[in-house]
Amino acid sequence: MPDPELSDPRLIYTSKAINEALDEELARDPTVLLIGEDIGVYGGAFGVTRGLYEKYGRARIWETPISENSFVGMAVGAAMLGLRPVVEIMFMDFIALALDPILNSAGKLHYMYNGQVQVPLVIRTPGGAKGGYGPSHSQMLTNLFVGIPGIKVVAPSNAAQAKGLLKSAIRDPNPVIFIENKRLYPQRGHVPVGDYTVPLNRAEVTVSGSALSLIAYSAMVPVCLAVSKAFAARGVALEVVDLVSLQPLDRDTIVNSVRKTGRAIIVEEGCLTGGVGAEVAAIIAAECMDTLEAPVRRVAAADVPIPSSPELEKAVLPGADDVVKAVREILSW
C-alpha cells in the first residue's frame, strides 16, 4: 500500500508553501511586488521565489544590489505610495544593515502623520542555524524587533501556518517582520487547498495537556511536539503552545495555558538573555503567580556567537535533550 503521506498531494515543503503564498498574492493584487537579492532568475538563496520571475517579470520582481539599507528604504517609500512590497533579506543576520528604515521609518510613519500614511510592508527573512553556516549567517534575532512599536513580528512553525500567515501579512496595512527558519524549509506539512489566512496576533495550542506548558515558536515547536509525544507515551500530558506572533504576544493564550498547568518552560532558538522568552516569563510572573507550582524555566541558545563547527553549533543551540532535562527537573520525574 502507498504511504498515505506520500500520496497526499498537499503535503508540501514549507519553502513551497511560502512560494505558493507569494504566487497567489502576486496574482490577486497588482500592487504586490517582491524586492531582494537574487530573487529573480536564481529563485532566492533558498529557492523560495523560484519560478516567480518567469511568471511575473521584472516589473513585479525587483532584483537589487547588495545594499539592504537602500532597498528596504526604497520599499518603505513604495509602501507609502500605495504598493505592497515584500522584501527578502537573504539571511536574518543582514537585517542589521536595514535597521534604520525599519526602526525609524516603517514602524513610526503611521503615528507621525496621524494615520494619514500606511506602510503595508512585509520583510521576509530566514533566521536560525543550519549546520555550519557560522556566526554571521545563523542568528535568530527576534529580540531586535519585538520591542519596536508599530512593527508586527510573526514566526511560523509549519507549512500550512507559513502560507496563511504570509498571506495575512501581505494584506495587512502595517509593517510585518516574517521570520522563516532555515531548518523548516525542507519540512513537509499538509497545506489546505484554496485561499485561507492565519491571524497575525494569535498563539495556537497545538497539543493540550495538564502537567506543564511548553511555550515555543518557529523551529522549536517541532522539538517541543516531539518531547510532548515522548512524555505522552509515559502518561505525562505536556501542553504545547506555539506563539506564532511574537509582537504582539497573545497574552490570553499564554496565561490560560499556564493557569491550567501551573508550570511553564519557554523554548526558543534565540539567545537566552533579552529574548522573547524573557517577555513571556514576565507575562507569566505578572498574571499567573498565584497558580504557579514551580519556577518558570527558559531553554534557549547560549549567549555566544553561533560557531561554524556543526558539533559546536549543536552544543550552543537548544535541543530536545535540553527540553527533556528541564521537564524532568520541574516535574521531579
Cα gap 265→281, rounded to integer Å: 9
Q: What is the mean pLDDT of residues 171-191?
A: 97
**SS3 (DSSP) at 204:** strand
Q: What is the mean pLDDT of residues 140-151?
A: 94
Q: Which CATH architecture has domain 11-190?
A: 3-Layer(aba) Sandwich (3.40)
**8 has a pLDDT exceeding 90:** no
Sign of CA dihedral 274, 307, 89, 12: negative
Instruction: Supply the pLDDT for residue 9.
Output: 76
pLDDT tens-digit readout, 24-43: 999 999 999 999 999 999 99
Cα gap 127→183, rounded to integer Å: 9
Q: In what order do the strands lie in the sheet with 204-207?
A: 204-207, 238-242, 212-216, 264-271, 297-301
Q: What is the mean pLDDT of residues 189-212?
A: 96
Band the pLDDT of 2: cuts 50, 70, 90: very low
Band the pLDDT of 201: cuts 50, 70, 90: very high
Instruction: Supply the pLDDT for residue 328.
Output: 97
Cα 153-307-276 angle, rounded to 5 deg: 25
Band the pLDDT of 1: cuts 50, 70, 90: very low
- Let me know if 54 is exposed, middle or buried by CB neighbors in 10 A (0-12, 13-18, 19+): exposed
H helical segments located in the chain: 14-28, 52-56, 68-80, 99-101, 109-112, 159-171, 220-232, 251-261, 276-287, 310-316, 320-331
Provide, rounded to the nearest whole percent, the portion of the chain with pLDDT above 90: 95
Residues paired with residue 86 on neighbouring β-strands, in sequence order: 34, 122
Q: What is the mean pLDDT of residues 160-187?
A: 97
Band the pLDDT of 333: cuts 50, 70, 90: confident
CB 224 within 8 A of CB 327: no
pLDDT tens-digit readout, 108-124: 999 999 999 999 999 99
Contacting residues for 246 by C-beta, under 8 A, at least 6 apart? 142, 145, 146, 153, 154, 155, 179, 217, 276
Cα gap 11→160, rounded to integer Å: 9
Query: What's the half-sphere exposure (Cβ side, CA atoms, 13 Å) at 108?
Result: 10
**6 has a pLDDT exceeding 70:** no
pLDDT tens-digit readout, 59-112: 999 999 999 999 999 999 999 999 999 999 999 999 999 999 999 999 999 999
Instruction: Supply the pLDDT for residue 282.
Output: 97
- Let me know if domain 204-331 sits in CATH 3.40.50.970: no
Q: What is the mean pLDDT of residues 212-237?
A: 98
Average pLDDT, the chain: 95
Which sequence spans correspond to the domains of the chain? Answer: 11-190, 204-331
Element housing 122 (H / E): strand 122-127
pLDDT tens-digit readout, 263-305: 999 999 999 999 999 999 999 999 999 999 999 999 999 999 9
Whether the predicted model's global pTM rises above the 0.85 cut: yes
Cα gap 307→137, rounded to integer Å: 10
Which residues are the active-site residues? 68, 137
